[in-house]
Amino acid sequence: MTVERTVGRTERFDDVVAPWLDYQRSPMGRLRTELFWRGLRPHMPVEPCDVLDIGGGSGELTEIMAHAGHRVTLVDSAQPMLDAAQARMRGLDVAFVHGHIETAMAVATAKDAGAHEGLTLSAQSFDVITCHSVIEFLDDPMLLIARCRTWLREDGVLSLGFGNQRMAVLQAAIVHKDLPRAAHDLHHEPQVLNRLGKPLRLLEPDTVVGWLHDRGFKVIAENGIRTVTDLIDSADSTDEANFGALLDLETHMMGMPAYARIARFVQLIAQNKPAQTTDSVDYMERDDPNFDRTQLSSCPGRP
């Protein structure tokens, strides 16, 4: 959620911790977290593994994965978010890292009673990477996708979640009853703010699938996160009495292709393919001045 833009315009989230925590405790926020987890869980290794949670904010998904026995590194650029996460997860096997994920180096805060200074995100260090509601805030999402492949071990899994441009059309027409806006958003990239008042770029699912393929990933699953919840009356979607029914309905719909592509968020589960592609190598070399092509021979999973 809180990775800074790679070029120029940065969106910091230090000032929205309280409303973000309120959202995460709400039915809408809990649905989002639980559905992302339900979409990822079938693709997680059975044995405890190393997980990188990019832009994980206050760590709701991190906590679920840590309780499942996995070793999680939570990276976020908003220190107040990390403080909130750390206060709730003392004693769990979680490393809290404050820094800009676009760099390969970040400064870690305390993990339990210890301190980890200058933590390096080394090549092939993780079995699973989660990156939800991050790429919408980046000028260069493909660079982050390429680096995710660098950090993943061979056959590792990336869970990439993003705001869906198609839902914006439905919300404009159905929720806001603004047909001219819906018609505009059908053919143009919607200009929207998220719940915290931050501008973001909603994405077309086919575009993101293409980015993943170009960077050497194989998409193995696609899920829709909140297909109907964002289209019904807010009094119903935020009513605790409806939470269980909505969760059951959304869970059944999330893997159905016809519904996945119109959901509020799309979750793509992608696997790091062992085969290298020239396009991925050239992209890394062009956009990362520190990229060393000669290191590829010792890192078969690196693009």
CA–CA separation, 24 and 20 (whole Å): 6
For 10-51, how does the pLDDT look when each residue is reduced to its tens digit (9 = 90+)?
A: 446 667 778 888 888 999 999 999 999 999 999 999 999 999
Instruction: Tell which residue, 206, 218, 166, 215, has the closest CA to residue 188.
Output: 166
Phi, psi (deg, nearest 5) at residue 183: -65, -40
pLDDT value of position 102? 56
Beta strands in 144-272 (DSSP E): 152-163, 191-193, 199-201, 217-225, 265-272
Find the Cα–Cα–Cα–Cα dihedral 22, 18, 135, 139, rounded to 10°: 150
Q: Determine how many CB atoms are found less than 10 A away from the CB of residue 292.
A: 9
- Pick the more confident residue, 188 or 85: 85
pLDDT value of position 297? 28
For 183-224, how does the pLDDT look when each residue is reduced to its tens digit (9 = 90+)?
A: 998 888 776 656 555 667 899 999 999 999 999 999 999 999
For 249-261, how does the pLDDT look when each residue is reduced to its tens digit (9 = 90+)?
A: 999 999 999 999 9
pLDDT value of position 12? 61
For 286-295, how does the pLDDT look when each residue is reduced to its tens digit (9 = 90+)?
A: 444 444 433 3
For domain 14-288, the CATH superfamily is Vaccinia Virus protein VP39 (3.40.50.150)
For the stretch 138-166, what's the b/e string if a residue is b when 16 or more beta carbons lie within 10 angstroms of its beta carbon? beebbbbbbbbbbbbbeebbbbbbbbbbb
> Which residue has tokens 């893997």?
255
pTM of the entire predicted model? 0.80
**Apex CA 78: angle with CA 129 and CA 71, to 5°?**
35
pLDDT value of position 9? 33
Residue boundaries of the structural domains of the chain: 14-288
CA–CA separation, 159 and 41 (whole Å): 10
Question: What is the average pLDDT across 278-298?
Answer: 40
For residue 211, give both structure tokens: 């980015």
Q: Is 258 within 8 Å of 264 (Cβ atoms)?
A: no
For 52-66, 137-151, 218-232, which range has the lowest pLDDT when averaged over its residues?
137-151
CA–CA separation, 299 and 125 (whole Å): 11
